[in-house]
Chains A and B, each alone.
Chain A
């Protein structure tokens, strides 16, 4: 069985590869995903500006400098994105992400699907501009989902919280957006 079927495959496939298979096949989501990518680029540019003057974390015998960087950066991002709300970054691309995750769930057995989400923090819903739960285990993102999701710029990552797909800023540990209900409900 192919993971994520055609949806995931053609979302991630570079355009020339698609053209090799069939001339008519055009990715109808290309513009939507481009919009998502542009919004992320703008976020990264903003973050870069906010990081100016903030000492970058360096390997050290004490992680105090890393904590300071995280706290300070988080504060700056929160202030700069005051009023940011769910959907600001994912925007109209949200159904595409839901579809990728749903396809993956379809291809897993129920036991596998449950196991996949075994250590996902249950707090839901997440909120934009709040910290990803720090005391919980950092929920592992199933690699077979990850390889089918669009690539993110350095410093951003996907995580799950409950059934929501979260976009997390690594350095500040902030949730910067999320897709509610991305993981289909399945019966135990």
Chain B
């Protein structure tokens, strides 16, 4: 008597598994136009654990329909031991299909990264703690927010000043704005960096450090994102505030970004494959703003 019901149940499981397999796991909401700048963004990923590997698999899956060419790494790219073999288990293996497909990774260092990791070739830092590069009409400024000394600030100002690119995007580990309960906004950094970003018309800033996803409401006309759950997660840590435009803290996640002329579209995808945020943001039309040059640092 029991046998048929077991068979039926087994058949139901097989059918439902087949149905799940047939369903596309990811829905890409981005415009996905040809010849646009497409990239992925995430931070705090280098744990070497299951969640990191699953995010890596999803990122590869996403690339099959949204062919991004590069990934920006927002720091804490490796946790714990950082010996040569750890680069294999905490970076090369989880992102193996992406690396094999020629996707380039551009890393910023976080507080858990050893500084010498800047010599690791696949992270394209060329031995520098901070650097800049361009993709079409977008210039990226990669900073070492762990040690923001005056030499780095002078470098940044000079690079921003001379940039004539349509889009200026800065990324580094510590967020100027964050509703994460563990760390929150890094006000020291904000006091120093925000005037430069405003003066030189930076369009968007990506950071990690808080292990959540958050799209911050534009601050002084600049878009801010926290994408610090590429492997780590602090579930329930997003204390949504007036800053929060959208956020997610229940699973690990990563971002996809597409820049097309005057628009930047973003999508945040969680470990389960669901889209947890998407938006299209217009490029800001601004006139240069003066900043105080008194030399005194004010809170």
Are A140 and B127 neighbours in the complex by a CB distance under 8 Å?
A: no
Question: Given A112-B187, A119-B111, are A3 and B297 also a contact pair (CB < 8 Å)?
Answer: yes
Question: Given A137-B111, A151-B150, are A1 and B298 also a contact pair (CB < 8 Å)?
Answer: yes
Question: Given A2-B296, A70-B116, are A116 and B81 also a contact pair (CB < 8 Å)?
Answer: no
Closest chain B CB from A51 CB (angstroms): 15
Residues of A within 8 A of B114 (CB): 134, 138
A170 to B109, CA, bound (A): 14
Please report whether the interface of chain A is mostly helix, strand, loop or mixed according to DSSP: loop
Answer yes or no: A17 CB below 8 A from chain B CBs: yes
Binds A, one of B33-41, B140-148, B195-203, B268-276: B140-148
Query: Which of the listed residues B87, B111, B121, B147 has the most CB atoms from chain A within 10 Å of its own CB?
Result: B147
Number of B residues near A (Cβ < 8 Å) is 41
Residues of B within 8 A of A151 (CB): 149-151
Residues of B within 8 A of A138 (CB): 111-115, 146
Closest chain B CB from A133 CB (angstroms): 11
Q: Of B80, B115, B117, B189, which is within 8 A of A143 by CB?
A: B189
Count contacts between A and B, CB distance < 8 Å. Answer: 105
Residues of B within 8 A of A141 (CB): 146-147
A119 to B113, CA, bound (A): 13
Residues of A within 8 A of B115 (CB): 138, 170
Question: Given A3-B298, A135-B81, A137-B112, are A59 and B147 also a contact pair (CB < 8 Å)?
Answer: no
Are A57 and B116 neighbours in the complex by a CB distance under 8 Å?
A: yes
Residues of B within 8 A of A72 (CB): none
Residues of B within 8 A of A82 (CB): none
Question: Given A13-B295, A61-B122, A151-B151, are A140 and B117 also a contact pair (CB < 8 Å)?
Answer: no
Closest chain A CB from B143 CB (angstroms): 11
Number of A residues near B (Cβ < 8 Å) is 43
Answer yes or no: B120 CB below 8 A from chain A CBs: yes
Are B149 and A157 neighbours in the complex by a CB distance under 8 Å?
A: yes
A115 to B184, CA, bound (A): 10
Are B297 and A147 neighbours in the complex by a CB distance under 8 Å?
A: yes
Are A146 and B149 neighbours in the complex by a CB distance under 8 Å?
A: yes
Question: Given A138-B111, A140-B145, A146-B147, are A59 and B297 also a contact pair (CB < 8 Å)?
Answer: no
Answer yes or no: A64 CB below 8 A from chain B CBs: yes
Are A3 and B119 neighbours in the complex by a CB distance under 8 Å?
A: no
A152 to B152, CA, bound (A): 12
Are B298 and A66 neighbours in the complex by a CB distance under 8 Å?
A: no
Answer yes or no: A9 CB below 8 A from chain B CBs: yes
Mask of A57-86 contacts with B, CB within 8 angstroms, 1/0? 111111111110010000000000000000
Residues of A within 8 A of B120 (CB): 59-61, 63
Residues of B within 8 A of A13 (CB): 295
Question: Given A57-B127, A140-B174, are A63 and B116 also a contact pair (CB < 8 Å)?
Answer: yes
A148 to B187, CA, bound (A): 16
Are A60 and B146 neighbours in the complex by a CB distance under 8 Å?
A: no
A141 to B189, CA, bound (A): 11
Are B84 and A3 neighbours in the complex by a CB distance under 8 Å?
A: no
Q: CB within 8 Å of A: which residues of B? A: 80-84, 87, 111-117, 119-122, 125-127, 145-151, 153, 174, 183-184, 187-189, 191-192, 295-299
Q: Which 8 A-B pairs have the closest CB atoms?
A: A143-B148, A137-B111, A66-B116, A3-B297, A59-B121, A144-B188, A143-B188, A62-B84
Give 13 CB contacts A-B under 8 Å.
A59-B125, A63-B84, A115-B184, A138-B115, A140-B146, A143-B148, A143-B189, A143-B191, A143-B192, A146-B150, A147-B192, A151-B149, A152-B149
